[in-house]
Homo-oligomer: A and B are copies of this chain.
Amino acid sequence: MKKAMHTALLPAGLRDALPEEAEMEAAAVHCLMTAFGRQGYRRVKPPLLEFESSLLTGPGQQLSAQVFRLMDPISQKMMGLRADMTPQIARLATTRLASAPRPLRLCYSGQVLRVRGDQLRPERQFTQAGIEIFGTDAVAAEAEIVLLVVEALRAAGVRGITVDLTLPALAPMVLKGRGLDDAAVAAARRALDAKDAGELRALVNGDETVFGLLEAVGEAREAIARLKRLAIDGEAGMLVDRLSALVGEVTAADPELAVTIDPGEYRGFEYQSGIAFAVFARGVRGEIARGGRYRGEAGETAVGATVYLDSVLRALPRRQPPRRLYLPAGTPRGAARDLKAEGWTVLHGLDAADDTEAEARRLGCSHVLGDGGPVSLD
């Protein structure tokens, strides 16, 4: 079979998932979607390909460079392969589901493709699963999204979860009206994101409120207390009040959950307009989920979260291989039915084997069916 090896080459960042990984991923997606469904989120399934024009509007704009384009021979228009599902769900909510009652809860899972990987994630195909609530401004919606993502990840087996809350729009609001030009606001925002106190001092000297943002970082209740002492008012103050209310709801509902705040963080939250969050698991590289509040293409308010299955898989312990039971060739197929109903994974022998036990072992079975029932091969 060597002559086929040359076709084993796949494009960089695209690969085959072998059984252990493929089964873990499918089980995790099933757990997540079941948890979402139990809380009233209805599943939708947009297509992999859309016209470029609809894929790249609203929250999809910033993904433009990541979208594979191809020509539709039927319409002669350019189509794109989705690089993210959230913009599709937002499109669906404001078009075919425009008249569905609000708040509208939707969930989804599927594959996304990106033109290039990056250093952290060289892959170009990812599995996403997610939830969205459309049409309510209530902070209870943010709380539900955060709590449900955590609950679903736990159901899938993820341990040591932490939630990092941020307010990407806060720093620009605070920085404006401090006599800084746009370039200086952007530079100060980057300095806050990077926790670069030296750079920040050069830009805003000793401004107590701005430096206060640098300090209002860490465990959520303590950081909120520090943030409130900064006496930020106006629109920015309302954002702080929302964050405070969210922390209250989340910690009341799930006192064990580790929640932190970093109000100056904004990278990767380019389309979030209010509270945003990222979910991590202790010792696991990369975000497991992220989300927040944004505006859909028709201006409708929404809050949602996307779970990244590649990170989830890194956070999960290896699964115990299932008990596989070898049924010697000629075992009646009806016997298999009963054994499967008892929870066995069965493997039918297709040819008579000289040494049944050796054949069972060769095929990775843990048990073989004897006259009296399954016999362990240990």
Residues of A within 8 A of B (CB): 1, 3-5, 7-19, 21-23, 25-26, 30, 33, 37-40, 42-51, 53-54, 57, 68-70, 72-75, 77, 79, 81, 88, 91-92, 94-98, 101, 103, 105-106, 110-111, 113, 115-116, 124-125, 133, 136, 138, 140-141, 144, 147, 253-254, 297-300, 324, 329, 332-334, 336, 340, 344-348, 350-351, 362-364
B26 A77 Cβ-Cβ under 8 A: no
Chain B residues within an 8 Å CB radius of A4 = 91, 94-95, 98, 297-298
Chain B residues within an 8 Å CB radius of A17 = 44-46
Measured CB to CB, the closest approach of chain B to A33, in angstroms, equals 7
Chain B residues within an 8 Å CB radius of A333 = 147, 253-254
Contact of A9 among B40, B51, B350 (CB under 8 A): B51
A43 B70 Cβ-Cβ under 8 A: no
Measured CB to CB, the closest approach of chain B to A6, in angstroms, equals 8
Measured CB to CB, the closest approach of chain B to A109, in angstroms, equals 8
Once A4-B298, A362-B101 are accepted as A-B contacts, the answer to whether A39 and B346 lie under 8 Å apart by CB is yes
Contact of A50 among B10, B324, B334 (CB under 8 A): B10
Chain B residues within an 8 Å CB radius of A350 = 103, 133, 136, 138, 140-141, 144
Q: How far is A14 from B22 in the complex, measured between Cα atoms in Å?
A: 26
A79 B11 Cβ-Cβ under 8 A: yes
Chain B residues within an 8 Å CB radius of A21 = 45
A70 B73 Cβ-Cβ under 8 A: no
Chain B residues within an 8 Å CB radius of A94 = 1, 4
Q: How far is A202 from B43 in the complex, measured between Cα atoms in Å?
A: 57
Q: How far is A8 from B95 in the complex, measured between Cα atoms in Å?
A: 6
Measured CB to CB, the closest approach of chain B to A17, in angstroms, equals 4
Measured CB to CB, the closest approach of chain B to A88, in angstroms, equals 8
The contact sample of 17 A-B pairs, CB cut-off 8 A, is: A1-B98, A1-B299, A4-B91, A4-B98, A7-B54, A11-B51, A15-B47, A19-B44, A19-B106, A22-B44, A26-B33, A48-B111, A103-B363, A133-B350, A136-B351, A140-B348, A147-B333
Once A17-B45, A33-B26, A140-B329 are accepted as A-B contacts, the answer to whether A51 and B98 lie under 8 Å apart by CB is no
